[in-house]
């Protein structure tokens, strides 16, 4: 951690924002060469730094659209059958053979802490600036705290105990004194505090227009609800009921500010329609991309395209596209239209497999270079609704849980839970309401980078091992399910971080 934090904390931030599709807004001048002491003079300087926090989310090493290596490929939804490319390092994630020396692992760690550092720089320097509008200062603080909380939520779920950095350091002595893994409960306490502070602001309930892509109270409450839900299911069991109640309150606060009636009023395909990304009322928080722009466009449609296919993008493909496990394909119920929209079988001789079609932009504006306009959706209302189903079920309110579950199933045109559960094909696979909700999240939110965290929330570590061991190896290709053990609940601490101080940066079990 020494090298990482000192590097990213002691330079001024990139100001390249992502929250608008206006090119002049996207292309502001980075103040990298300006010393921190001189970088914060005006509210515009602070805005530039806040936009730099958002900009860092775009990276495939962070939580952007191409970050599925850390989530979906770790789960049972996607993977890869190529164990040779890039020294086989990407393959290690889905093969459960991850090494602490993996450079992709280190890149993820560094990117997340880079975002934390950018937020810390804003929070530790904003008081140097005089604001004529106190609400504007409050807004920037809220945004920085929200984004820092999102990063720590990603870090603590992925690695467990992690360094908790809230300061900016000017020398190695300060850095050394603060470089150690903090217990999870302390990390979660900061996450909750940051999110509560962010709610105590003048941020809008939902963002519209040029604000799309920025924090809102709905996004903060949705995140806070999932944080409390995760704490209730994976952390402090003594406070389980209190955390579940707090989760429900936060999720309801996000749900109650929606601008639509029934979820079924929003077609599923509208959620991913590039032409409707700024108007679809289901979207709560997204990373904004600019169609046709070489630097700020989306590449997810082209990246998922399989050879011989044109459904995703006009860019020709020579590969197999976004890999989908047979295990997921078999989990779709017969006639589920979400399967027909989300995946397609490619019949090209070098493919002969399913690929991801959920994210499409085959328009002329995206061109044959694949400069798509897809925004990367981080939070949407179906996610919130299914979290409410989870919470209600854990609180013993089965009827309420089913009501939320049915909102999503009704929109998809699937039989409601009472009908589905009377079908032996359904009830034999989803033997209780908890598994039915987990299944619904899987097929509703497929490829949106939720699945791995859903599994961690649903199962204890021994249960998760049993869950994977019970699956068919044939449905996973060459990644070996036999490799999955209790060690795989967390990623290993990157070796470069561990070796700096093996005592304070102790390694996770099994590595």
Find the mean pLDDT for residues 89-100: 97
* pLDDT given at position 35: 59
Is it the case that residue 29 has pLDDT exceeding 60? no
pLDDT surpassing 60 at residue 30? no
Question: Can you state the percent helix, strand and coil of the chain, rounding each to 5?
Answer: 50, 5, 45
Q: Where are the beta strands (DSSP E) in 199-349?
A: 283-287, 343-346
CA distance linking residue 320 with residue 346, whole number of Å: 8
Taking alpha carbons only, the member of 371, 386, 213, 358 closest to residue 283 is 213
What pLDDT score does 178 carry? 84
Q: How deeply is 387 buried, as exposed, middle or buried, from its count of CB atoms within 10 A (0-12, 13-18, 19+)?
A: buried
Q: What residues does 163 pair with on adjacent strands?
A: 181
Residues 6+ apart with CB under 8 A from 414: 333, 335, 336, 420
Rounded to an integer, what distance in angstroms lies between the CA atom of residue 131 and that of residue 141?
A: 12
Residues 6+ apart with CB under 8 A from 258: 206, 218, 281, 381
Write down the pLDDT at residue 463: 98
> Which segment of 32-41, 271-280, 283-292, 366-375 scores lowest on mean pLDDT?
32-41
Alpha helices in 200-307 (DSSP H): 217-234, 240-255, 300-304
Of 376, 378, 408, 377, nearest to 390 by C-alpha is 408
pLDDT of residue 37: 65
Query: Whole-angstrom Cα distance, residue 326 to residue 324?
Result: 7
Share of residues in the chain with pLDDT > 70 (%): 93
pTM over 0.85: yes
**Window from 7-21, 93-107, 380-394 with minimum mean pLDDT:** 7-21
Tens digit of each residue's pLDDT (9 = 90 or more) over 244-257: 999 999 999 999 99
Distance of CA 275 to the CA centre of its chain: 23
Query: Are 377 and 448 a contacting pair, CB within 8 Å?
Result: yes
**Where do the domains of the chain lie, and which CATH numbers do they carry?**
1-182+486-511 (1.25.40.390)
Q: What is the DSSP letter of 283?
A: E
> Distance of CA 464 to CAs 176, 359, 438, 452, Å?
36, 29, 13, 11
* Cα dist from 493 to 75, 95, 230, 325, 497, whole Å: 19, 18, 21, 28, 7
- Whether pLDDT at 16 is above 50: no
pLDDT at 491: 98
Least confident range from 17-31, 82-96, 314-328: namely 17-31
| Mean per-residue pLDDT of the chain | 92
């Amino acid at each position: 951690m020494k090298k990482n934090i000192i590097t990213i904390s002691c330079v001024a931030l990139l100001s390249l924002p992502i929250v608008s599709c206006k090119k002049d807004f996207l292309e502001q001048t980075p103040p990298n060469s300006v010393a921190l002491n001189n970088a914060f003079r005006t509210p515009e300087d602070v805005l530039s730094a806040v936009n730099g926090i958002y900009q860092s989310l775009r990276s495939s090493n962070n939580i952007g659209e191409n970050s599925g290596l850390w989530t979906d490929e770790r789960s049972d939804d996607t993977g890869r059958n190529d164990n040779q490319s890039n020294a086989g390092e990407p393959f290690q994630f889905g093969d459960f053979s991850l090494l602490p020396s993996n450079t992709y692992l280190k890149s993820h760690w560094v990117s997340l802490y880079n975002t934390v550092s950018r937020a810390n720089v804003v929070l530790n320097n904003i008081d140097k600036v005089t604001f004529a509008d106190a609400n504007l200062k409050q807004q920037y603080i809220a945004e920085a705290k929200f984004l820092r909380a999102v990063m720590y939520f990603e870090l603590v779920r992925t690695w467990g105990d992690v360094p908790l950095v809230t300061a900016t350091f000017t020398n190695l002595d300060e850095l050394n004194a603060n470089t150690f893994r903090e217990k999870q409960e302390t990390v979660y306490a900061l996450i909750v505090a940051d999110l509560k502070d962010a709610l105590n602001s003048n941020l809008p309930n939902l963002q519209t227009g040029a604000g799309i892509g920025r924090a809102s109270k709905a996004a903060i409450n949705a995140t806070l609800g999932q944080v409390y839900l995760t704490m209730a299911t994976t952390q402090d069991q003594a406070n389980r009921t209190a955390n579940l109640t707090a989760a429900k309150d936060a999720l309801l606060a996000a749900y109650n500010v929606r601008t639509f009636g029934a979820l079924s009023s929003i077609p599923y395909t509208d959620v991913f329609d590039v032409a409707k990304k700024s108007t679809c009322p289901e979207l709560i928080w997204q990373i904004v991309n600019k169609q046709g722009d070489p630097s700020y466009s989306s590449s997810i449609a082209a990246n998922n395209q399989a050879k011989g296919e044109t459904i995703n993008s006009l860019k020709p493909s020579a590969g197999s596209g976004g890999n989908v496990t047979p295990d997921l394909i078999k989990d779709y119920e017969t006639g589920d239209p979400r399967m027909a929209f989300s995946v397609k079988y490619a019949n090209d001789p070098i493919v002969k497999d399913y690929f991801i079609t959920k994210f499409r932009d085959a328009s002329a504006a995206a061109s044959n270079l694949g400069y798509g306009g897809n925004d990367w959706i981080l939070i949407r209302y179906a996610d919130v609704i299914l979290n409410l189903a989870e919470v209600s079920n854990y609180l013993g309110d089965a009827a309420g849980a089913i009501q939320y579950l049915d909102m999503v199933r009704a929109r998809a045109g699937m039989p409601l839970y009472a009908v589905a559960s009377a079908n032996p094909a359904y009830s034999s696979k989803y033997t209780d309401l908890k598994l039915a909700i987990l299944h619904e999240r899987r097929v509703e939110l497929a490829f949106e980078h939720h699945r791995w965290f859903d599994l961690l929330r649903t199962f204890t570590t021994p249960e998760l091992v049993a869950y994977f061991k019970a699956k068919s190896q044939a449905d996973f290709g060459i990644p070996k399910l036999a490799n999955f053990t209790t060690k795989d609940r967390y990623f290993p601490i990157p070796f470069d971080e561990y070796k700096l101080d093996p005592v304070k940066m102790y390694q996770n079990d099994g590595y």
